[in-house]
Amino acid sequence: MHHGTYVILDGLQDPRLGRGLSAAWTRAGLLNEVDVTGQCARLAIADTPGGEERSLNEAQVDRAAKIARRFALEPRDRVGSTFVRDNDIQALRRQLTYEYKSRLATALVFVLPALAVHYLAPLLVVGGDTARAYRFPWLIELLLVGWACLAGGWPILWQGVLAALHRRATPDLLTSLIIMAGFIPSALGVLSLVTLKNPWFGDTGPSFHAVSFALILALYQRWTVHRHAAKLAGRLEWISPHAGRVILIWLLFSVVVALTTEWRTGLSLAMLLPPLFALGGVVPATPRLAAALPVFGFAVVFLMGPQILDVDFNSIRFEVAASFAFVLAVTYHWGWRRLPVASGG
């Protein structure tokens, strides 16, 4: 296409989803090129088949966005508040890079104090070592982490809601379910201390720190993906064509583990898989599904360690899972930095 309007497809990593979105746009009369690894698409219209292609107007972009939401994506088409038909993809990428860098910084401003409260809570309690004595530190955690999720992770959570509504197994669905599975039960337990002596989770405490780890990991991956989107662009053959299936199977497996063992074990298992693992395949050392193989191997150690290796992860399971996922995410980032800019990216 010689002319077109670019949109950012934030968080897209499944080739099947990309093809489905492209086909839906085509049926709606929109000419398009979807670049899954480049996190973008170019849209145009033509008055006649094979005729001159033109950029979209704002109403047409809104129609394209409505279609994209059925695929759990909220397209970004402008820098600032002004719509431009012939926009600049590099400017859009810089905008998203800056946005997620800012969101990551905002989340850290609230998450780091929350983690400090979590780990220093024994020094802050007044009135004994019972669960009720921890109600104020836990309430502070609830407020800090809750605001971090809204202020920092809202785009991810919104696309997670879209994924759930339209039954799409996306990285945002994975992150959103982890955040909700950690935050909602913990918040209910803490708020129950208003009337109850002991919350449902007993003396083990809430899992707001797990929510913090999942949020920071997701924002870090988003920032690094958009930062290197020009290098990732046009490399579809490098990534796994079954990213959505992997996420769905991983979520189901985590649910089974949670139901058959303990809620926290299933939650920590879900945290092992970096949300944008498929884009990690755009690294020569870990092409396609090999980007997720370390997760599968470590999951065995993580689950079987207490029984076979006499290693007890229970007290630090969230920290172990988050550390492993962060190591993978940093490895992906390091690999992307070494890539040359793809032709057409």
Domain range annotation of the chain? 5-88, 91-337
Q: Output the pLDDT for position 255.
A: 95
Instruction: Average the pLDDT over 152-160 and give the result.
Output: 97
- Gyration radius (Cα) of the chain, Å: 22
Q: 202: which 2 tokens? A: 């007993």
pLDDT, tens digit, for every residue of 267-298? 999 999 999 998 988 876 655 555 566 666 66
Q: Output the pLDDT for position 112.
A: 97
pLDDT, tens digit, for every residue of 171-230? 999 999 999 999 999 999 888 877 777 777 766 788 999 999 999 999 999 999 999 999
Average pLDDT, the chain: 87
* pLDDT confidence tier of residue 337, bands split at 50, 70 and 90: confident
Q: Output the pLDDT for position 30.
A: 94
Cα–Cα distances (Å) from 196 to 125, 126, 135, 193, 199, in that order, read 18, 17, 11, 5, 7
Residue with the bigger pLDDT between 345 and 62: it is 62
Closest C-alpha among 159, 207, 181 to residue 317:
207
* pLDDT confidence tier of residue 339, bands split at 50, 70 and 90: confident
How far is 158 from 19, CA to CA, in rounded Å?
22
pLDDT, tens digit, for every residue of 17-64? 999 999 999 999 999 999 999 999 999 998 767 678 899 999 999 999
Q: Output the pLDDT for position 171.
A: 96
pTM for the predicted model, two decimal places = 0.90
> How is domain 5-88 classified at the CATH fold level?
Alpha-Beta Plaits (3.30.70)
Residue 46: CB atoms within 10 Å: 15
How far is 63 from 342, CA to CA, in rounded Å?
30
Task: Answer yes or no: is pLDDT of 108 > 80.
Answer: yes
- In the chain, pLDDT over 70 holds for what percent of residues? 86
pLDDT, tens digit, for every residue of 253-268? 999 999 998 888 899 9
Q: Output the pLDDT for position 344.
A: 52
How far is 11 from 146, CA to CA, in rounded Å?
22
pLDDT, tens digit, for every residue of 312-332? 566 778 888 898 899 889 888
Beta-carbon contacts of residue 59 (< 8 Å; ≥ 6 apart): none
